[in-house]
Structure 1
Amino acid sequence: MAGVGSEKIFENDKVIVWNFELAPGEETPIHTHEHSYMWYAIAGTALQVFDEHGKDLGTLDVPTGTVYSLKLEDGFLEILSEPGKGLRVPAKHKARNAGSTHYREILVEYK
């Protein structure tokens, strides 16, 4: 995994588009989000989030077909959309697929 997704599929002067996939039990390396972004869950699951020190920050249920919008501000990401509205996590973190099925999303960063 490079950057904030599994594979960068498009980039221009306004956005970066990523394919992002995690098998059950798989986790991302620690990474830092440098832009606000949104994602669309193509195949949902439960995502467990950890801070850079490994502290469990909780599990976010990500249903298939859900769109999440996140704002980056002062080193934190805040979910602006439902479900999860108001949830804040550090911009530097890692995530693990805590579900039993393959997870896939399309993530769009706003430059």
Structure 2
Amino acid sequence: MAGVGSEKVFENDKVIVWNFVLEPGEETPVHTHEHSYMWYAIEGAPLHIYDKDGADLGIFEVPTGAVYSLKCQDGYLEVLSEIGKGARVPATHKARNDGDRPYREVLVEYKDAMPAGGSV
């Protein structure tokens, strides 16, 4: 997921941990998730999601304190956690912070298969 995390804070043979900040109105570059992952929203915001061609995929409301688990498979991400469960987006996309405050999260990518249970 190079180019998305604001700062890589840890990496070993099993995980990569990212600190991620997206200012109001700022958007990520188009990027491709290659691993399943989870994230914790330190400060939530509405994230507007677009596919690689710029088509609008909708707004994903991310509340402060929410924890998400996503499975990456066959070019798509599927939300496994209770909040947002079943939502699917292309693994290649971009996101824009449509809120009025910075969006902040800690994201953990799993280099191998998802941990047992598949969700957090």
Aligned residues: 111
Could you tell me which residue of structure 1 aligns to residue 53 of structure 2? 53
Which residue is equivalent to 1:10? 10
- Post-superposition, which runs of at least 4 consecutive aligned residues in structure 1 deviate over 6 A? none
Secondary structure class of the residue paired with 2:28: coil
User: Aligned runs of 1:60-99 on 2, under 5 Å?
Assistant: 60-99=60-99
What is the aligned-residue RMSD (CA, Å)? 1.2
Q: TM (normalized to structure 1)?
A: 0.97
Q: Partners in 2 of 1:4 and 1:101 — Cα distance?
A: 18
Segments of structure 1 that go 5 or more residues without pairing to the other structure are none
Which residue of 2 is the match for residue 28 of structure 1? 28
Q: Compute the TM-score of the two structures, normalised by the length of structure 2.
A: 0.89
TM-aligned CA deviation for residue 82 of structure 1: 2.2
> What is the percentage of aligned positions where both structures have the same residue?
74
Flag the structure with higher strand content.
Answer: 1
1:95-110 superposed matches below 5 A: 95-110=95-110
CA distance in 1, matches of 2:63, 2:82: 11
Deviation at 1:6, TM superposition (A): 1.1
